[in-house]
Structure 1
Amino acid sequence: MDILSVRGFQKRYGDKIAVRDLSLTVEAGDIYGFIGHNGAGKTTLIRSIVGAQAFDGGAIEICGHDIAREPIAAKRMLAYVPDNPDIYEFMTGMQYLTYLADIYEVPAQNRMERIEGLARRLDIVDALGDPISSYSHGMRQKLVIIGALVHDPRLLVLDEPFVGLDPVASHELKLILREHANAGAAVFFSSHVLEVVEKLCNKLTIIRAGEVLAQGTTEQVRGDDTLEDVFLDLVEREA
C-alpha cells in the first residue's frame, strides 16, 4: 500500500524553480531516505508533504488523501519532526504531549501508555513535569519525537531528526523508526548523515538543485560503493 505518493511535484520561489517534476512513492514498511546538499530542495518538498506550504505543480497524497484538497484528512495520517524543535515554552513537557494527544483524539489510556513508554526509551521521563523553556536542544528534540509518535501516524516525516541527540537516544530512535515501519507504517526522512541513511533506509532519493539524480532501493543506488561515494560522485558529475 502507498503511504506517500508524490507525482510531478514542482515549487517556485519567484522566478526560481526550487524543485522540478519530482516523483516518489513510499510504501508501508519503508524507511525512505531523502538526501541532497544544502539548498537542494529537501525541506521545500517536506514542508509541502506535511501541508505547511503550497506548491505550484503536481500532487501529493497521504494514504490516498490529497494534501491540497483534503488537508485535514491527510494530516491526520502523518506526523512531522522539523529540523528545529520550536515548541511552546510556557508548557511543561507533559502538557505539550497531552495537547497533541487531544488534537489527534488519542484515548486517555492509550496516550499515557505510549507517552510513558517512549519517554522511558528516550530517557526524558523525569523532565516531563518541567517547563519546556528549561529544556536543552536535545531534550526538545526528544519531546517533539514523542509528540509525533503519540497518535501512531501512518507516515512519520522527519527533517534531520538525529541532530542534538546523544548517542544513546540516537540509537534508540533508530530502533523506534524500524519498529514503526515494521508495524506497517512508513518513515520518510532527510539527513546529511549518510552513514545513518545507508544503514537505516531501504529506499532513497538523491536530489541536486531540485532534480532527482538517483532513486531506488538503497542497494540499487549504492551498488558496490558506499552511499557517501555515490552521493559525492553524482553531485560532482552534475555540477
Structure 2
Amino acid sequence: MSDEADSKQDQAPKHAPAQGDVALRLSGLSKRFGSTRAVEDVTYTVARGSFSSIVGPNGAGKTTTLSMISGLLPPSSGSVEVLGDDVWRDRAAAQRRIGVLPDRLRMFDQLTGAQYLAYVGSIRGLSKQDVRSRSESLLDAFDLRDNANRLVVDYSSGLRKKLGLAATLIHQPELLVLDEPLDAIDPVSATTIVEVLESFTNRGGTVLLSSHSMEFVQRVSDHIAVIVDGKLIAEGDMDEVRGELTLEERFRHIVRGPEETEGLDWLDISFR
C-alpha cells in the first residue's frame, strides 16, 4: 500500500458507532474466486440513519462486497451483521431487514409494473391489503402511475430501475443495498429517487450504495468507503475523507490515477 494510501487511512475516523446505533458491521470480509482475491479483509461500520456510499475503480470489488452484504454471495471469510443479525448465520432474519437492488436486476417482464410490485410484496409475506396500499404509494412516489399497467418488457432501462427501487421498499426494510441506482436514470427521475432515499434515511432507514458518479456521491452521502483492488483504502465521514478537495479529486489522489491521459499524442489533428 502506498504512503499516500496509508496517510488516508490515518485520517479515517477512529470512533465507531455504539452497538445500538450500528446498521451494518463488516468484520474481515473477504472473497476469493479460485486464486483471485476479489475482496480482502474489509472491516468497517455504518451508522443507522446514514447515507453511505462505496466507491472505487472498475473491478475494485464493490459489487462483490455489496453482494456479500445483501446475502447474495457467501464470503470466503469474515462476517456481515445487519442491525445485529448475522447475514450468513441467520440469512432469513437478516434479509427481512434488507432491500436489495442489484446492478443487473432480472424481472418478470411479462407482468405489468403494478403486478410486479404485487408479486414482490406477496413473496415478502405482506397481506393483500398491505400489498395494495403500499404498491399504490410506491407508484406515486416513483412517478410510475402512468406506466403501472404496461408490461415490464416494454419499460425503458430507466423505468425498470425505478420499478426495481420501488420493489426494494415494499416490505419496509431498514437497510437498502443499491448497486448503481442511478444508472440509466434521467435527471428528473434521479431527483425523485434521491428525494425518496433521503426521506427513507430521515425516517431512520440506512442507505448503502455504489456509484461511479462522484458528484452524486458527494452531494448525498454522509459516509464513504473507498475500495481499490479489493482492499479498503479509506473510510469515514465524507468531509474527513475528502478534506478540502472535491471527492473526485480526493478519489484520484487516493487511487493514484493519472492526472491526464498520456500516450495518445497521435490523436492530435493538424490543419496545416
- The normalised TM-score by structure 2 is 0.84
CA contact (8 A) 1:30 1:202 kept: yes
Match 2:93 to one of 60, 73, 77? 73
Asked if residue 123 in structure 1 is aligned to residue 150 in structure 2, the reply is no
- Rg larger in structure: 2
Structure 1: gaps (5+ residues): none
User: Number of aligned pairs?
Assistant: 238
CA contact (8 A) 2:60 2:229 kept: yes
CA contact (8 A) 2:118 2:135 kept: no
Q: 1:112-191 to 2 correspondence within 5 Å? A: 112-191=132-211
Distance, in Å, in 2 between the alignment partners of 1:150 and 1:226 is 35
Q: Paired residue for 2:28?
A: 8
CA contact (8 A) 2:111 2:152 kept: yes
Distance, in Å, in 2 between the alignment partners of 1:110 and 1:197 is 33
Asked if residue 93 in structure 1 is aligned to residue 134 in structure 2, the reply is no
Q: CA deviation at 1:237?
A: 6.9
Q: Paired residue for 1:224?
A: 244
CA contact (8 A) 1:34 1:189 kept: yes
CA contact (8 A) 2:22 2:83 kept: yes
Q: Paired residue for 1:45?
A: 65
Percent identity between the two aligned chains: 35
Evaluate the alpha carbon distance shift between residue 94 and residue 209 of structure 1 in structure 2; reply closer, same or farther with a 3 A threshold: same
Match 1:28 to one of 48, 69, 80? 48
Q: CA deviation at 1:113?
A: 3.3
Could you report, residue by residue, the CA deviation over 1:137-181 in whole angstroms, capped at 9, with x for unpaired residues? 111111101100111210000000001111111001111111111
Could you report, residue by residue, the CA deviation over 1:195-236 in whole angstroms, capped at 9, with x for unpaired residues? 111010000000100111111000100110000000001111
Match 1:62 to one of 59, 78, 82? 82
Could you report, residue by residue, the CA deviation over 1:32-60 in whole angstroms, capped at 9, with x for unpaired residues? 01000000000001111111111111100
Could you report, residue by residue, the CA deviation over 1:121-140 in whole angstroms, capped at 9, with x for unpaired residues? 32211211121111111111
CA contact (8 A) 1:157 1:187 kept: yes
CA contact (8 A) 1:85 1:137 kept: no
